[in-house]
Structure 1
Amino acid sequence: MIPGQNQSWVSEFILLGFSSDPTTNSILFLVFLLIYLSSVLGNGLIIMLVCLDTQLHTPMYFFLCTLSLLDMGYVTTTVPQMLVHLLAHYQTIFAGCWLQMYVFGSLSITESIFFVVMAYDRYVAICYPLHYIVILNWGLCIWLVAGTWVCGFFFSLLHTFFTMNLPYCGPNRVNHYFCEGPSVRSLACMDTNLIEMVDFVLSFFAIVIPISLIVASYIHIAKAILKIKSTQGRCKAFSTCASHLTVVTFFYAPATYIYMRPNSSLSPERDKQISLFYNVFTALLNPVVYSLRNKDIKRAFFRLIGHSRVDW
């Protein structure tokens, strides 16, 4: 920009959402409302069970409870506003855009790093079962959880700060259903190569390094499982890890595609669909995967509703 040049700056953004057709939006509203309520109820149930059932007061379920809290947080950051916009003609957002970008980014990055903590939990449980409680004591568990939250909110602050300070002089229509960094940044009226490089470095620390640590953990876990002589023991160990790997795949694959590429490769319609996987569907998937495959969770649920004895 030339110093002193008259320029009209964008004072608000308009989220285009998925469709301009009222009938389509009404159908999408019902679908996403059902998904949102299911996500909140499912994750809320897991949090309640872990808090109320003393038999679930272990590091593994403490981490699962934290994961459910993160899922509830970031799905609530985007979906309620999307539901309002699906029914309302007024789809403008400005100050809330930066707040939404920051909170969503903070919770997403926290969850990305937190998956490493959960992988470490499985590594210790399978490779050092006799020392599990000693290694993963409550003090360390609390520090690990607190550390992931601090990292998430710090990295997101950098991402939001650099994106927010770009000049936006029009157009102001964000082809997305929420204020996601790459989609908003594509509207900037200046070269964004430097900001893209900063985001790439942040994404490397928030995505590539966690994935590498998770893969390294599961290589050691696989070696330990193969040494188990009992077939039943191997199946149980693999089953425990399968839940975590399923959720990790659904989260990291689309997040890597969205955040680790230049603006020149943006495809708004495709990006909106892909972002649903790590934004909406992962939060719905987590309670389903962890509850249906976990007998301890199911036993805790039946104890909660008054069934003292359940045959499996």
Structure 2
Amino acid sequence: MDEFNNTLLNDFILMGVTDQPWLKKFLCAFVFFFYLLDLCGNLTIVSLVVRDPVLQSPMYILLANLSFVDMLFSSVTVPKMMVGFFTENIITLKGCITQMYFFHVFGCTEAVLLAVMGYDRYVAICQPLQYISIMGKSACIQLVSASWFTGSTYSLINAIMTSQLPFCNNRRIKHFLCDVKPVIKLACKDTHVNEVTVTMASGLMSMTNFSLTMLSYIYIIPHVLKIKSSKGRSKIFSTCSSHLTIVIMFYGTAMCTYLGPSSETSLEKDRIAALLFTIITPTLNPIIYALRNKEVRNSVKKLIKRSNVFRICLKPKS
């Protein structure tokens, strides 16, 4: 038993996305560019909602929280991933479990927030007269808090169960982050219970939130079809299509990653899917909302005008 304990590992090596030197250089520039866009775009959305009174409604407060989560979601993985492009990417066992925990906190919180945003659209479209009383400031805060609580609770399952496993031989994680499936693959004991738990918990969480989101639109679509005004239908379609696009991108990649088998082939696909929903999707979210939402576009224009006026005022007179 003592000999076994002495062989337990205290750190891992993250293998990254690829072993090809030329591809590493390309991916380094690619990831860095999209990460900057991610931070700038989502920070802009948060700033607009905080500064512009027009955007301080429940819909945009939820959008600001989604942008905030997106920034954290990318930040928990990208900086560590960037290290792997230049040197051997070593991470301690505690650091690995910590990254795993926060990665799933932000991912699960985003899933719940997307469901809440779908409910917000349902109330606004189907029950407009009761919207203020149903989706007031207090209700909005409670829903956002519930999203974070759900994400934190769900993540504890993966983190605690993984931290109890012994790791004593292979220390190379075939991923660019400490995700639960590739990590438990390295354990030197039977992990069938862990794999089943991950699949069931992830399936329950993702399918519940996805079903609730779709349920909102099952009620929304017939209501929209009854609207005679083409302008009214166009405005609702613009808002809902932005939300639906984000939902499809997020769940499309997440479900492929966590509901599939833990084979070597699937782990390779998981790395590509993880790259999409940790970097590409958070970057596209603010762009989609900015392009499809009139209020956000107007707020951006006002911000640009204020910046130009500020520059003119500061410009020294000749």
TM-score, with length taken from structure 1: 0.94
Q: 2:159 is matched with which residue? A: 160
- Shift of the alpha carbon at 1:166? 1.2
Q: 1:90 is matched with which residue? A: 88
- Shift of the alpha carbon at 1:307? 6.0
Q: 1:147 is matched with which residue? A: 146
Question: What does 1:282-297 align with in structure 2 at a 5 Å threshold?
Answer: 282-297=281-296
Residue type of the alignment partner of 1:227:
K
Whole-Å separation in 1 of the counterparts to 2:2 and 2:178: 30
Q: 2:238, 2:293 within 8 Å by CA — same for their partners in 1?
A: no
Q: 1:31 is matched with which residue? A: 30
Stretches of structure 2 lacking an aligned partner (at least 5 in a row) = 308-318
Count how many residue pairs are aligned between Structure 1 and Structure 2: 305
Whole-Å separation in 1 of the counterparts to 2:153 and 2:265: 26
Residue type of the alignment partner of 2:189:
M
Stretches of structure 1 lacking an aligned partner (at least 5 in a row) = none
Whole-Å separation in 2 of the counterparts to 1:13 and 1:288: 36
- Shift of the alpha carbon at 1:263? 2.0
- Shift of the alpha carbon at 1:21? 3.1
- Shift of the alpha carbon at 1:285? 1.0
- Shift of the alpha carbon at 1:121? 0.5
Q: 2:203, 2:258 within 8 Å by CA — same for their partners in 1?
A: no
**CA RMSD for the aligned pairs?**
1.6
- Report the identity percentage: 39
Q: Residue 92 of structure 1 aligns to a residue in which SS?
A: strand
- Shift of the alpha carbon at 1:200? 2.3
Q: 2:120, 2:135 within 8 Å by CA — same for their partners in 1?
A: yes
Whole-Å separation in 1 of the counterparts to 2:48 and 2:83: 31
Residue type of the alignment partner of 2:89:
Q
Establish whether residue 230 from structure 1 lines up as the match of residue 229 from structure 2: yes
Q: 2:97, 2:178 within 8 Å by CA — same for their partners in 1?
A: yes
Residue type of the alignment partner of 2:298:
R
- Shift of the alpha carbon at 1:32? 0.5
Q: Residue 19 of structure 1 aligns to a residue in which SS?
A: coil
Q: 1:9 is matched with which residue? A: 8
Q: 2:253 is matched with which residue? A: 254
Deviations 1:185-236 (CA, angstroms, capped at 9, x unpaired): 1111222111122212321332010111111111000011111112222222
Q: Residue 167 of structure 2 aligns to a residue in which SS?
A: coil
Change (3 A) 1:6 1:96: closer
TM-score, with length taken from structure 2: 0.92
Q: 1:194 is matched with which residue? A: 193
- Shift of the alpha carbon at 1:4? 5.9
